[in-house]
Amino acid sequence: MDNFCLQALVRELGELLPKTRIRKVRQLDERQFLFSLHRPCPFDLMVVLEQRLPCLFLRPKQPSTGHTAVPSDWILSIRSHLVGATIVAIEKELEDRVVALVVEDGRWPHSPRTLRLRLELIPLRANAFLEDAQGRVLRAFRPHQPAAGPVSGPGPGLDNLNSQAFHDLILDAGRESERKGPGTARTRRPRQGIRGLSPLFLREFAYRSKPDSEGSWGHFQEFIQQLREGPSSPRIYPPGKDSQPWICSPFPLAHLQDSPHREFPDMNAAVAETCRLFQDRQRRLQRRQARLSPLRQRSRKLTRLLKDLQSDLERNRQAQRFKKYSDLLLAQATGLAAGRSSVRLPDLFQPGQPEVTIPLEPRLTALQNASRYARQFQKSSRAIPRILTRLEALRAEMETLEKQQEQPDPETLRPEPEPPPPRPNPTPSAMPAGAKRRHTSREGGTPETSKLARRFVSSEGLAILVGKGNRQNDALTTKVAHAHDFWLHVAGYSGSHVVLRNPEKRPAPSRLSLLEAAQLAAYFSQARNAPRVEVHYTQKRFVAKPKGGKPGLVRLRRYQSVAVQPGIPDLPETNEKRQKKKSDPRRDTKNDEGTLRDCQIGI
């Protein structure tokens, strides 16, 4: 994200974020984390530390999907410092792409702590640091120390820029623009640039200064003042090539006035849309790479095979001389004894009968060498047609692979829908007083899941679903559980089907979550009062329901076992209120009639 775009965004965020409290800190994936803010603020703060497009923006609150990444050490550390803290200010220097989120931890009213979340939003060098009031680093997103000076590079900054240096830069940018032509939106970075002034906006100022070079310095000062004070009219321009990023600008660009663009009501909406477009393209490129990777691998393999077959064909064609060697030995050297490595004989098949040297196997006689050459000739004669047939099929397959690689992706063949008109983001004051957040289920917001199963959360943050009855077990296993989730059932007794979520698609569950899920599977079964029972577990993809089987009956293709003591571990139950009175054991043990003993289990 460009420095000027970031400056305009920070100016907008500075009007919305102060005096808001941080409710949660969640990690969405390896490089994205989200600050959930307390109401009445209707937004969450998204921080993206992608190395190609680092950015931050506000997004409307969304219900949790239940599938979040495992928190890293960085997330766990900033959770302990920032959850419950109040955002005091958001700061940024004009010439640097570093945003500082100043928060005040008020959990100790007598001595509140001031912390700074320093975000270095620089492409290929994106990083984040949590610092105390004295500037000491408490935790770093990447194991690097923050730069002591400006991180945008050497050279004078925008605050120290004078008119002479600005005019020199404009002249250099104008020459470079004329050399490259008007078809590109980027230009070469000058050797001695200005911190905070990107090549994109340098070319823009060079373009605007053509009709009035004397007034370009004044136009630049007006631009900087409007950037600091507003308002902005952000736009997004498509890239010239698929490998280039989308161009986001807080103001219309004169040198791209003929290019298609999209307008947005505020800078936050433009940055959020730019980030979405970038992530969509990254996912599209990953899908394209996944589609082309096996084709390219197969093509490389066929190329090597083609080279080997051509070498075999040439070698077998040269073996046609073995027929002549055999005939010459049979005609002229039948009485030659063994022990010779070669023999020179007149070539009866050539005019003038020049002598030809025939290699011999010293252990064999001349007659035996003639038979050996005859066999080699016959073998080569049989191999040549087969090699030619394989070469023809191989070239046809390689041509098909080339056509498949040249085909466009299936997504590009669909008509692209019209983008919805951008809506202005509401301000915190637009939220009605006393508005309550609507409660939704953690499992994708569907109320049916809470009717099918009890839901627990393991100590490692993984969801554990426990079926409530025969038909609920059936629906939980066949409709709710994913292929890579882990499925558990007590061995030898009737009981609930238990599903341990596996959002990261690991081949084996972690030991702690497995034991907690196994305890629940043993507790919600007829073996509840047993001192120790065996629980089978496997991935759901190895669980199948027999055709016509009664509710709850399944068949396991493979499984493993673990022995546990039945009981409910100290886990939160998220979709049912705990009963104050002890539940009836007969009600809890009433589960599916089909047990694992009825199933056909195979390893």
Dist CA 562 CA 537 (whole Å): 8
The answer to whether the beta carbons of residues 422 and 264 sit under 8 Å apart is yes
The fold for domain 3-140 equals: ibrinogen binding protein from staphylococcus aureus fold (2.30.310)
Q: Tens digit of pLDDT for each residue in 412-434?
A: 545 444 545 544 444 443 344 44
CB within 8 Å of 589: residues ≥ 6 apart: 494, 524, 525, 526, 528
pLDDT of residue 202 exceeding 80, the answer is: no
Dist CA 529 CA 526 (whole Å): 8
Higher pLDDT, 172 or 337: 337
pLDDT of residue 269 exceeding 80, the answer is: yes
State the pLDDT at residue 197.
Answer: 77
pLDDT of residue 444 exceeding 50, the answer is: no
Q: How far is CA 554 from CA 252, 302, 474, 599, in A?
A: 63, 44, 9, 6
Q: Helices H, strands E: what count in the chain?
A: 13, 22
What is the 3 state secondary structure string of 496-522? CCEEECCCCCCCCCCHHHHHHHHHHHH
Q: Tens digit of pLDDT for each residue in 117-138?
A: 999 988 888 899 998 888 888 8
Q: Where exactly are the structural domains of the chain?
A: 3-140, 158-234, 306-406, 448-588
Buried b (16+ CB within 10 A) or exposed e, 139-160: bbbeeeeeeeebbbeebbbbee
Instruction: Taking residues 172-189, report their average pLDDT.
Output: 51
Q: What percent of the chain has pLDDT over 90?
A: 24
Through-space distance between the first and last CA atoms of the chain, rounded to whole angstroms: 54
| Cβ atoms < 10 Å from Cβ of 574 | 16
Any idea how long the chain is?
603
**Do β-strands 20-29 and 355-359 pair in parallel, antiparallel, or remain unpaired?**
unpaired
The alpha carbon dihedral of 533, 534, 540, 546 has a sign of negative
Higher pLDDT, 28 or 64: 28
- What φ, ψ does residue 467 adopt, rounded to 5°? -65, 150
Q: Tens digit of pLDDT for each residue in 496-550?
A: 999 999 988 898 999 999 999 999 999 999 999 888 999 999 999 999 988 888 8
In whole numbers, what is the pLDDT of the chain averaged over residues?
A: 79
Dist CA 95 CA 525 (whole Å): 65
pLDDT of residue 576 exceeding 50, the answer is: no
Dist CA 548 CA 13 (whole Å): 60
Higher pLDDT, 440 or 336: 336
Six-digit token string for 448: 């049916």
Q: Tens digit of pLDDT for each residue in 143-162?
A: 776 655 555 545 566 666 77
List strand residue ranges (DSSP E) for 61-136, in order. Answer: 86-92, 98-105, 113-120, 127-131
Instruction: Taking residues 375-383, report their average pLDDT.
Output: 91
Least confident of 71-80, 179-188, 318-327: 179-188
